[in-house]
Structure 1
Amino acid sequence: MVEAVILDRDGVLTYFDLEVAAVHLAQLIPMPLHQLAERWFAWGSHHGAPQNLAQEQQFFQEFWLEICQELGLPEAIRQQLVAFDYTVCVRPYPEVTQVLAALDKQPVRIGVLSNFALASLEASLEAAGLARYIDVACAAPVIGAAKPAPAAYLTVMERLGVDPTDCLFVDDEEICVEGARAVGMRAYLMDRQRPDHDLAAHILRDLTPLPHLTGH
Structure 2
Amino acid sequence: MPRERPTALLVDLDGVLRRWDPEVAAGVERRYDLPAGVLLEIAMQWALLRPAVTGQLTHADWMVAVADALAGPGRDRERMQAAVDEWQADRGTVDPDVLAFVREARAAGVRVGLATNATDLLEADLALLGLTEEVDVVVNSSALGVHKPAKEYFQQACLAVGAPPAQVLFVDDEDRSIRGARVAGLSAYRWTGPDDLRYLRAALAI
Alignment TM class, shorter chain as reference: 0.7 to 0.9
Percent identity between matched residues is 26
Residue-pair matches, total:
201
Which amino acid counterpart does residue 213 of structure 1 have in structure 2? Answer: A
The alpha-carbon deviation at position 74 of structure 1 amounts to: 6.5
The alpha-carbon deviation at position 182 of structure 1 amounts to: 2.8
What is aligned with 1:195?
none
Which amino acid counterpart does residue 10 of structure 1 have in structure 2? Answer: D
Normalised by the length of structure 1, the TM-score is: 0.74
Whether the 8 Å contact between 2:28 and 2:87 is mirrored in structure 1 is no
CA distance in 1, matches of 2:56, 2:130: 20
CA distance in 2, matches of 1:82, 1:23: 12
Matches within 5 A, 1:103-182: 103-116=105-118, 118-182=119-183
* Superposed CA offset, 1:125-182 (max 9, x none): 4444433312222233442223332101011111222211221111223343233233
CA distance in 1, matches of 2:115, 2:172: 9
Change (3 A) 1:47 1:184: closer
The alpha-carbon deviation at position 46 of structure 1 amounts to: 5.2
Q: Secondary structure at the match of 1:2?
A: coil
* Superposed CA offset, 1:98-133 (max 9, x none): 2122223222221122235x3433444444443331
Q: Secondary structure at the match of 1:96?
A: helix
Normalised by the length of structure 2, the TM-score is: 0.76
CA distance in 2, matches of 1:48, 1:148: 12
Task: Identify unmatched segments of 5+ residues in structure 1.
Answer: 193-203
Which amino acid counterpart does residue 4 of structure 1 have in structure 2? Answer: A
What is aligned with 1:213?
203
Change (3 A) 1:189 1:60: closer
CA RMSD between the two structures = 3.1
